[in-house]
Structure 1
Amino acid sequence: MNHQTMLLFVLAAVAVIVVVRWVASHTGLPAAALLPLIGIAYALLPGPNISLDPGLVLTVVLPPLLYSAALDSSLLGIRRNLRIVVSLSVVLVLLTALLVGVGFHLFVAGATLAAGIAIGAAIAPPDPVAALAVGRRVNLPPKLVTIIQGEGLLNDATALTILKVAVVAAVGSGFSFPSAVGQFVLAAAGGVAVGAVVAWAVRLARPLTVDPLLSNAISLATPFVAYLLGEELHVSGVLAVVIAGLIVGHHTPRLTSGASRLQTSAVWRLVDFLLEGFVFLLIGQQLPTVVRGLHQYETSTVVAAVAVSVGVVLLLRPAWLVLIQVLPRSLHTRLGGTSDEDEPDEPSGTREARRAERNARRLTRREVVALSWAGTRGVISLAAIFTLPLTTDSGAPFPDRNLLLFCTFVVVLVTLVGQGLTFAPLVRALDLRANDNDQARVRNEARSAAVEAALARLDEVAAEEPDLAEAVNTTRDQLQTRLARYRGRLDLLQSVESSEAPTSPEYEAALRIRRAAIDAQREELLRWRDAGQLSDEGLRILERELDHEELLLPKRAPR
């Protein structure tokens, strides 16, 4: 494929991604499920195709996607749900790999245990992109969003480490169980350490992050630095990226300026949009490659392999979620050294608060069902299985490599399209959605507290610098007006019992008026520019001021 053809292909892919995004926004169908189908349709047509380069995916595509997801995740939320997150991203991945391996060894003719564990590791980690896209659209509760995010961030490192160990055993390079466990622990601990060091280095670069352009450059480089440093030290580069993203994201409000955060957020949204689109198109285009190598297998062998792969992936997840909910409370000790048992000497109020927190952490039946169906697989599974070597150390072909590729593709397609298209109807049927009223109330309480802190600081300034009294009074009047608006909103939110945040006709009218005023200002600025009274540079400066003012306006009733 020459450069011009490649450029045409990229432009066509961007056009497809844009159209699919428009269709998804108007139909409610997830783009992550539609794009692979389009990729399959294209792959079946005559003409050039793009093959999946696993090294490129793991080195260039995976780090920025994971880092962006980590930046948007909640470190405190993941820590609050650490037990369930770790059980899904570590224990369930291990169990999936082992069960698929045993299933291949027992039911697939000629398959080895090591090869089965290799595909089990590849298909074990869910890719939460499709589930989260749908979940946010149907207003999935924040607790479930945090769990899905946390699982998706941590499970890739577990799966890729297991895959490396299984490949070593399959190619005959020598294998011992204690060595495998040691390698896994070292890779995980080293990845955490590398991620923390990279995050610390980003924090040291804080003086540079005042400039939005420098902040963007540092942000875009961070995931690649973390991944390459981790891989160079032979630890988990994937986990290093995730840990760096979680720590940097948690401290971003203190590390960067407002202008830097606005620009960096916009850049990462664009990166996510394009990379995810290309990735899902690429998944569909691998169909000819994975089907081409199946001619050497009996139909019964292919059916058995697919049944084991898909069956374990679809059935083990709900079974595991149910199991960890029905275990005795003594086995529900949270990771991190905090026990679920009450302390004998703690006050009764603290004890009741701890019990309420434990109950909030436990999953309801509806939450278990939703999480069971949120296990969509994606490009990580395909990239991982494509890294399998062509031959063993003895020069023989890697056992059942083509069959493993096909089974992985089927699992990805079944979960990505099947679960992706049905997740939204399932969530709606479960009536599982966030409590908008509670979320709006908390946000308005936080807004009121922030304004009260600002008023207190103004009093300090007025006492220290009496000459600024006039400016202080002007700012105080503005803040008190804003505080009165927030408190009025809080009174309205607390007066209703519905989970839906109430709307305010008066505020909606005020929003329309403010938008109309901003539009009128823009039109006048354009007339000045067209008449030659205002330079284009001046227009852009004044327009940016209006853009920021408009950005502060909510899209719907205030929450």
Structure 2
Amino acid sequence: MHAETLLLLVLGAVAVLVAVRWVAARTGLPAAALLTLVGILYAVLPGPNITLDPDLVLTLVLPPLLYSAALDSSLTAIRQNLRTVISLSVLLVLATALVIGLGFALFVAGATLAAGIALGAAVAPPDPVAALAVGRKAGLPPRLITLIQGEGLLNDATALTILGVAIAAAQGDGFSTPAAVGQFLVSAVGGVAAGVAVAYGVRPLRRLRSDPLSSNAVSLATPFVAYLLGEAVHVSGVLAVVVAGLIIGHNNPSWASGASRLQTNAVWRLVDFLLEGFVFLLIGQQLPSVIDGLGVYETSTIVIAASITIGVVLLLRPLWLWLTEHLPQAMHMRLTDQDLDGDGEPNDGSHPTGRLSGREIVVLSWAGTRGVISLAAIFALPLTTESGAPFPDRELLLFCAFLAVLVTLVGQGLTFAPLVRALGLRADEADQARLRNLARMASVEAALARLAEMEAEEHDDVDDKAITSLRAQLTTRLNRYRKRLDLLDSAEAGEIPLSPQYEAALRLRRTVIDAQRHELLRWRDVGRLPDESLRKLERELDHEEGLLPSRSQQ
């Protein structure tokens, strides 16, 4: 493909991403499903197409996406929900692979157990991107968000390890259960160790935090370092990326400066937007190559294979959730919503609170959308075995995996938000806002206490007038938080109450900032202010505006 053609494809893809994001924001439809449909539409039109390269996806696309998701996750919340996360990301993935493998061996003519397990491993791990995007917008409770995130971070490593064992067995190397279990444990433990090593290996570089650009460069390189280290020592590179991201994200408040965090967060949001968008477009474009190889199969064989794959993917997940949540009560954590932290405050919803309810099981079941990792895994199947024979039923496996991705990504993706609304499963927004305001009050009170200490210590380099002025600002802010908390305490039905005075004050502050911007531009336009100075002053106003809370941040 010529460079000009590739450039046109990239520019066209960016235009599609922007357009689909605009449509998704106004219709409430998930961008992932819309992009997949656009990719399918483009695939059936004449013109150049892009074939998915599994090595490229697994090496260059998956690590940054997983790392970014890990940075935004909560290590504390995942640890508190570890039983359910491990059940979904390890045991359910294993069960899905085995059930599909047995189904192929028993009911698909000529299919082998190893080939079926390879397919099962590929379609077992859900891709949480679409579900999380919809779930956050729909206001899912924090615990469900944590479970979806935790499962999505860890299940890829499980699936790729099982896939490697299944491919080896399908190529004639034989299958040994003890050897497979040992390989999985070594891969998992080694992946965790590699991730920990990378996370603490980059810690000395925190002295670069005064330089946001250098800190940003280190952040972008970290997932690739973790992945390559894991692969180099023959353990799970995917798990190494996830563990490194969870540790660094957990310690980022103390490891990075405020300027570095602001810039790094902005860069990772852009990376996520572009990579996720390209990935979903790429999924749709695989339709022609997937269908081309089906001519050698009987229609009945295709139908049976597809039915087994889709049936297991859709039905095993809710069955698994229901069974695991109805284990004996002694096997569940007996925690309540009250004072889990011993701080006298109600639980914010991020902690485990016993068994999942029926509505939560339904939502988690419908959040199992499959994505690019399933296609990358199945496309990674070798064309031939070590003996030179064609890999058994490779084209049929490709079609079944693509169909599973299409059905879940489009079918479940488009219906996930209506399902959440119909079930009425929403987070208590007022309770979360109340917790944020309590934390704001605590931070301001700590600042006032520190001011009092400095005043008592009588530092020569600290002006009493400066302390008095700063104390007045902090006290005003503290009083504002207290008024807001009083309003939140009177909230009904979990909704954030609307304060006309508070909203008017926010509008007034934004209006003032806009007036300042216009005056600075007027100075620039009449030649009184250089552009370099304008950009510095604009950045000050941008930061000031960024401090103003949106409704979701109150």
Same fold (TM over 0.5): yes
Distance in 1, Cα, partners of 2:204 & 2:78: 25
Query: What corresponds to 1:405 in structure 2?
Result: 398
CA drift of 1:201 comes to 1.2
Query: What corresponds to 1:479 in structure 2?
Result: 474
Query: What corresponds to 1:121 in structure 2?
Result: 121
Distance in 1, Cα, partners of 2:352 & 2:262: 37
Query: What corresponds to 1:189 in structure 2?
Result: 189
RMSD: 1.7
SS in 2 for 1:457: helix
Distance in 1, Cα, partners of 2:144 & 2:38: 30
Query: What corresponds to 1:494 in structure 2?
Result: 489
User: Are the counterparts in 2 of residues 81 and 361 from structure 1 also a CA contact under 8 Å?
Assistant: no
Report which stretch shifted further, 109-118 or 464-473: 464-473
Instruction: Specify every segment of 5 or more residues in structure 1 that has no aligned partner in the other structure, as ranges.
Output: 335-339, 343-348
Runs of 4 or more, structure 1, over 4 Å off, are: 356-359
SS in 2 for 1:110: coil
Give the residue type in structure 2 aligned to 1:101. G
Distance in 2, Cα, partners of 1:417 & 1:76: 32
Distance in 2, Cα, partners of 1:487 & 1:363: 34
Query: What corresponds to 1:377 in structure 2?
Result: 370
User: Are the counterparts in 1 of residues 104 and 116 from structure 2 also a CA contact under 8 Å?
Assistant: yes
Residue 557 to residue 97, structure 1, CA distance change in 2 (3 Å): closer
CA drift of 1:496 comes to 2.7
Distance in 2, Cα, partners of 1:409 & 1:286: 8
User: Are the counterparts in 1 of residues 513 and 545 from structure 2 also a CA contact under 8 Å?
Assistant: yes
The residue correspondences of 1:156-555 to structure 2 (distance < 5 A) are 156-332=156-332, 360-467=353-460, 468=462, 469-555=464-550
CA drift of 1:358 comes to 8.6
Count of residues in correspondence between the two structures: 544
SS in 2 for 1:69: helix
User: Are the counterparts in 1 of residues 77 and 350 from structure 2 also a CA contact under 8 Å?
Assistant: no
Query: What corresponds to 2:339 in structure 1?
Result: none
Cα shift readout 1:102-135 (whole Å, capped 9, x = no counterpart): 0000111000000000000000000000000111
Query: What corresponds to 1:134 in structure 2?
Result: 134
CA drift of 1:464 comes to 1.4
Distance in 1, Cα, partners of 2:552 & 2:51: 47
CA drift of 1:331 comes to 3.3
Distance in 2, Cα, partners of 1:556 & 1:165: 49
User: Are the counterparts in 2 of residues 173 and 393 from structure 1 also a CA contact under 8 Å?
Assistant: no
Distance in 2, Cα, partners of 1:531 & 1:3: 44
Distance in 2, Cα, partners of 1:293 & 1:408: 13
Identity %: 71
User: Are the counterparts in 1 of residues 428 and 495 from structure 2 also a CA contact under 8 Å?
Assistant: yes
Instruction: Specify every segment of 5 or more residues in structure 2 that has no aligned partner in the other structure, as ranges.
Output: 337-341
SS in 1 for 2:234: coil
TM-score, normalised to structure 2, is: 0.96
Distance in 1, Cα, partners of 2:551 & 2:435: 17
CA drift of 1:556 comes to 3.0
User: Are the counterparts in 2 of residues 382 and 408 from structure 1 also a CA contact under 8 Å?
Assistant: yes
CA drift of 1:357 comes to 10
Distance in 2, Cα, partners of 1:63 & 1:402: 27
User: Are the counterparts in 2 of residues 503 and 557 from structure 1 also a CA contact under 8 Å?
Assistant: no
User: Are the counterparts in 2 of residues 508 and 557 from structure 1 also a CA contact under 8 Å?
Assistant: no
TM-score, normalised to structure 1, is: 0.95
Cα shift readout 1:16-47 (whole Å, capped 9, x = no counterpart): 11100000000001010011111111111111
CA drift of 1:279 comes to 0.3
Query: What corresponds to 1:556 in structure 2?
Result: 551
Give the residue type in structure 2 aligned to 1:503. L
Residue 90 to residue 558, structure 1, CA distance change in 2 (3 Å): closer
Give the residue type in structure 2 aligned to 1:362. R
